[in-house]
Amino acid sequence: MLHHACMSNSAPLMWQLRAVAMAAAQAGGRAASAHFRRADLQVEWKSDESPVTRADRESEAACRAVIAQAFPDDAWLGEETGETGGGSGRRWIVDPIDGTRNFVRGIPLWSTLVGCEQDDAAGKRMIAAAVNLPALGELYDAGLGCGARCNGVAIAVSRVATLAESLFCYETPSWFQRYGLGRAFERLCAGSALQRGGGDAFYHMLVASGRAEAVVEPHLSVWDIAATSLIVSEAGGRFTTLDGGSDLRVGNAVITNGLVHDEVLRIIGEPA
């Protein structure tokens, strides 16, 4: 059954936005893939100590070309090129290669993230998104009120109801230490059934598709979470900040199947 929003008058636009997000993520993924595992790939380091390559820049340009052709009046926010205003009330938020550290090491857990944000009376809301994992052959997409898919097939979060039965994912323990969450990390590991690190947005998609239950991100940027938050939510999961808020721009996130979310937030909130 289609969600109510997919049967409304806004449905044709929603599906168009969703299709453009997918096309942009695929174009960006193709551009990046041309450089993946190439011995001559040069890595530079930005002021925030994160890596960037020619692949990042070409991927972002490819994403932007697709979006600009379809919606030239929309605003833009890209990790590599920054922000450009627009007059439509929509903003595209793009991370051309999420997981650049994996990319430059030849690890296939990297993705191109494309999200569309609407500014309206309800505030800022993600309304369409795509996550492309080219090296794994997985393309995820979602539209607000229209559900989430992987390679065109509907996905849903798991029904695991306790952390003790859950797969807990994270990027690296060092982020927890840096932000004063070392003890919380230890408690999350001790309290969960399995733990995995180093997957970036791929782990968000594991939650969305029912293959993991919780991801905690002590540090990220809005382009790291904009697209994935909508896909997780439309798959039946839940996104908040570490303190339970909903602002994508705070710089941290908890992504779960919903059923274990409050338990994870409680553990994070316990005294160090």
Model confidence band, residue 47 (pLDDT cutoffs 50, 70, 90): confident
How far apart are alpha carbons 228 and 25 in whole angstroms?
13
Give the residue carrying structure tokens 């090491």: 105
CATH 3.30.540.10 occupies which residues in the chain?
4-154
Residue 7 in this model has a pLDDT that exceeds 70: no
Q: What is the DSSP letter of 166?
A: P
% of the chain with per-residue pLDDT over 90: 86
Classified by CATH at the fold level, domain 163-269 comes out as D-Maltodextrin-Binding Protein; domain 2 (3.40.190)
Q: In whole angstroms, how far apart are CA 216 and each of 128, 136, 207, 235?
A: 23, 23, 11, 18
Q: Supply the pTM of this predicted model.
A: 0.94
pLDDT value of residue 247: 95
CATH 3.40.190.80 intervals, the chain: 163-269
Average pLDDT over residues 125-142: 98
Instruction: Bin 178: left if φ > 0, else alpha if -120 < ψ < 50, else beta.
Output: alpha
Fold of 4-154: Fructose-1,6-Bisphosphatase; Chain A, domain 1 (3.30.540)
CB 155 within 8 A of CB 242: no
pLDDT tens track for 212-222: 999 999 999 99
Q: Does position 188 have pLDDT exceeding 90, yes or no?
A: yes
Average pLDDT value for the chain: 94
* Res 41 pLDDT > 90: no
Q: Residue 200: pLDDT above 90?
A: yes
**Per-residue confidence (pLDDT) for residue 165, from 0 to 100:** 98
Residue 10: pLDDT band with limits 50, 70, 90: low
Per-residue pLDDT tens for 49-82? 677 888 999 999 999 999 999 999 999 999 999 9
Question: Which residue in 87, 38, 82, 44 sits closest to 60, CA to CA?
Answer: 82
Backbone angles phi, psi at 257, to 5 degrees: -75, 5
Query: Is residue 233 over pLDDT 50?
Result: yes
**Residues pairing with 125 in the sheet:** 118
- Predicted pLDDT of residue 3: 57
Q: What tokens appear for 199 in the block?
A: 């997957």
Lowest model confidence (mean pLDDT) among 7-16, 143-152, 233-242 = 7-16
pLDDT band at 1 (very low <50, low <70, confident <90, very high): very low
Taking the C-alpha atoms of residue 18 and residue 24, their distance in angstroms, rounded to an integer, is: 10
Q: What is the pLDDT of residues 83-115, one digit of tens each?
A: 999 999 999 999 999 999 999 999 999 999 999
Work out the percent of the chain whose per-residue pLDDT is above 70. 96
Structure confidence at residue 180 (pLDDT): 95
Q: How confident is the model at residue 253 (pLDDT cuts 50, 70, 90)?
A: very high
